[in-house]
Amino acid sequence: MTLDILTDPLLHGTPHGFFARAGGASSGVFEGLNCGYGSSDQHDVVTINRARAAQALGVPLPNLVGVHQVHSADVVTVAKQHETAPKADGMVTATPGIALAILTADCQPVLFADRAAGVVGAAHAGWKGALNGVLEATVASMEALGAKRESIAAVIGPSISQDNYEVGPDFRETFLAVDPTYNRFFLKGDQDRFQFNLPAFGLAQLERSGVLRARWTRDCTYASPSRFFSYRRSVHQKEADYGRLIAAIRL
């Protein structure tokens, strides 16, 4: 089956992709292109899936580089393959042939490029990482490699939408304690519930970082079970585990 790869014109000229489920070797709840070694899927099958993503990006599998994601604001600079994935949630590189890969299943996968400077970045931005500054830190790390904020383009890939992201009052208070104006990212839901707009929050953080060209693909992971994996949907459906989507970019 052909891979389902979302690309965006803002990143035109820089090989990249937000990979959906289609075209993978996994089965069961992982059916499709599950690229997460942290899942309970068969390791060798995940390797096949990751190899297909790497091939689509034109790099050998070892050059598809990821991190051990921990919902932090930590960013690493990648110049070569690493044997052990460092704990971080953002990556930047100015090295041709290295593809920076992020795994998600509702959180925001964010791909960055300053094509003129020859610098790319990738970030895993769930609510905690986004609130703690992983997007700003990724932009700063790109700048350290020679990128210019005003020249960076950033695209948020398939993520959970506000319609499907119900949270409690404590969650909202965590944001308001940082900045009361963050209330604009919440809509009142049933009883004491709220609906949080994660992609809008991510776009606001990018704008605050000086990224003038940014957008969300407007694809909701939760709402499209045949196309995307979703952690929250798997919990609601009482599934034993869930697949991980991969997004990657290279020079």
What six digits make up the tokens of 207?
């704008």
Provide the pLDDT for residue 1. Answer: 66
pLDDT at 81 > cutoff 90: no
Q: Which of these, 217, 71, 189, 69, lies nearest to 131 by C-alpha position? A: 71
Provide the pLDDT for residue 248. Answer: 98
Residue percentage of the chain with pLDDT more than 90: 97
Q: Which of these, 88, 149, 99, lies nearest to 124 by C-alpha position? A: 88
Provide the pLDDT for residue 84. Answer: 85
Q: Give the residue-averaged pLDDT of 131-156.
A: 98
* Consecutive H or E run containing 18: strand 16-19
Average pLDDT, the chain: 97
Task: Say which DSSP state 58 is in.
Answer: T
Domains of the chain: 5-161+197-250 (3.60.140.10)
The confidence band for 80, taking pLDDT boundaries of 50, 70 and 90, is confident
Task: Say which DSSP state 251 is in.
Answer: -
The confidence band for 149, taking pLDDT boundaries of 50, 70 and 90, is very high
What six digits make up the tokens of 72?
């932090």
pTM comes to: 0.97
172-223 pLDDT tens trace? 999 999 999 999 999 999 999 999 999 999 999 999 999 999 999 999 999 9
Q: Dihedral sign for Cα 154, 155, 160, 166, please.
A: positive
